[in-house]
Chains A and B, each alone.
Chain A
Amino acid sequence: MKRPELLTRILITVAIVGAVGAPLYIWSRTPLIHAQMSENGGWSPDVLRAEVGKPLHLKLTSDDVMHGFAVGQIDMERVDVEPGKVTNITLTFDKPGIYTFFCTRWCGLNHWRMRGTIEVNGSSSDPEPASIPLYVSLHLDIDAPHDAASIPIDQPSAARGQELATDLPVDLSAEYYRSHSPYQAFNDLANTALTDSQRWDVVAYLWQLNTSKESLVNGKQLYVQNCAACHGENGAGNGVFADDLKAAGDASAQTMVGAQDMRMQTPANFTDPTRMLGASPALLQGKILRGGMGTGMPMWGSIFTEDQIWDLIAYIYSFQFEYHK
């Protein structure tokens, strides 16, 4: 074979091997975490491992639509995971345990199912004992109906309630607030000289005392990012996925026996006083922590901190009460 022919063949072979080999090699050494809509597989991989105190570097990319990433119950800013682009993030854990990471930008009906876990090994200086949620210690059946026997005619106002509550023997403590529904609080004021609507105003004031403007703002942001898509931007249970949830429930009811109430259904309407005023913060906390057991309501226990849930509950009651204006 002539020299130029041989050299050219070598050149071509080297070039092709390089063009294929180099990217392939780098690709195989790049550990990417792929975000996909739940319907397409969710997070891949969905189990990560880390050591206490050792920084965990993650490379996240989306394979389809806009997603986001955050880890539950640690203090971090959520990051966007964009289609076709790589987001780099470094996490450091002080306590061992199993953490849940989740998608933070709505990516379809099953967005909330897009979760994974980070198993963090190692020892920590102060082990934290687990706490029993309030609804459990109160022995509340959070799936039982909780309709209020009577409801106010106008929306109760905390401002009016404040004026009325000055001389009343009202239990203003957090324990009382958390363990009693507004209706129960309304009932407990039966032996006062107030009218019904005045009593509701006092209840609204009671609720206001147990929250703060800040928690309302926090709660609103949490609601908008996590709840509004199903429960509606105005809390009426008519979010963009409400119809899909109902349709999914109707479609599945044909094969389900028993527990008809636990199928996928239209999200709760927070503007409905009968339903909401009969629910105590503890009950709402229970629902949020545990989820809806097949109703389509996600479980947030591993995602939100306790404070976040109380903030969210404060915001949810603002569909019923006029407070912190």
Chain B
Amino acid sequence: MDAQQFAYSPSELKVNPGDIITIQLVSTDVVHGLYVDGYDVSVEADPGQTATLTFIADKLGSFRFRCNVTCGAMHPFMIGRITVGTNNWLFRSIGLAALAVVGVVISIKPKA
């Protein structure tokens, strides 16, 4: 995975639950890092020194990964996404929203 100011390439990963993920981080301009939300694992790579991050994708859902070495102005927004399995939480939330809407609409019916 290439890291440059201010994006990863590829920036979206899809893996299966239980997979052992190995990411080889190649910084192509300045020192960058990779920190995975939810898993709290990270690695740092200097240009010229590929760094390796290995972890087991045991938590389901969609997680952001982000840079954790200040690499310039837009550093806090240098973000990518890894989805383990399906993003169940999102679908359930949308489902909940739909349910809520139906609930609200129905609740007005009795009123004239």
Q: Give the interface of A toward B (CB within 8 A).
A: 37, 64-66, 82-84, 105-109, 111, 224-225, 227-230, 233, 239-241
Q: Knowing A233-B49, A240-B47, A241-B47 touch, does A108 contact B70 (C-beta < 8 A)?
A: no
Chain B residues numbered 6-37 whose CB sits less than 8 Å from any CB in chain A: 26-31
Q: Give the interface of B toward A (CB within 8 A).
A: 26-31, 46-50, 69-72
List residues of chain B with CB within 8 A of the CB of A229: 46-48
Q: Are B28 and A240 in contact (CB under 8 A)?
A: yes
Q: Are B70 and A105 in contact (CB under 8 A)?
A: no
Whole-angstrom distance between the Cβ of A243 and the nearest chain B Cβ: 9
B5 nearest in chain A by CB position: A65
B30 nearest in chain A by CB position: A65
Q: Knowing A65-B72, A240-B26 touch, does A105 contact B48 (C-beta < 8 A)?
A: no
List residues of chain A with CB within 8 A of the CB of B69: 66
Whole-angstrom distance between the Cβ of B104 and the nearest chain A Cβ: 48
List residues of chain B with CB within 8 A of the CB of A37: 30
List residues of chain A with CB within 8 A of the CB of B29: 108-109, 240
List residues of chain A with CB within 8 A of the CB of B26: 240
A65 to B31, CA, bound (A): 7
Q: Are B46 and A105 in contact (CB under 8 A)?
A: yes
A233 to B49, CA, bound (A): 7
Q: Are B72 and A64 in contact (CB under 8 A)?
A: yes
A84 to B72, CA, bound (A): 11
B2 nearest in chain A by CB position: A240
Q: Are B72 and A106 in contact (CB under 8 A)?
A: no
A106 nearest in chain B by CB position: B47
Q: Are B70 and A82 in contact (CB under 8 A)?
A: yes
A11 to B72, CA, bound (A): 40
Q: Are A227 and B71 in contact (CB under 8 A)?
A: no
A62 nearest in chain B by CB position: B70
Q: Are B49 and A224 in contact (CB under 8 A)?
A: yes
- Shortest 7 CB-CB contacts between residues of A and residues of B: A229-B48, A228-B48, A106-B47, A83-B70, A66-B31, A65-B30, A229-B47
List residues of chain B with CB within 8 A of the CB of A111: 47
A107 to B50, CA, bound (A): 15
B70 nearest in chain A by CB position: A83
List residues of chain B with CB within 8 A of the CB of A66: 30-31, 69-71
A241 to B26, CA, bound (A): 11
A240 to B3, CA, bound (A): 11
A37 nearest in chain B by CB position: B30
List residues of chain B with CB within 8 A of the CB of A240: 26-29, 47-48
Q: Are B31 and A233 in contact (CB under 8 A)?
A: no
Q: Knowing A65-B31, A65-B70, A66-B30 touch, does A106 contact B46 (C-beta < 8 A)?
A: yes
Q: Which of A37, A239, A240 has the most CB of B within 10 A?
A: A240
Q: Which of A64, A230, A233 has the most CB of B within 10 A?
A: A64
Whole-angstrom distance between the Cβ of B98 and the nearest chain A Cβ: 45
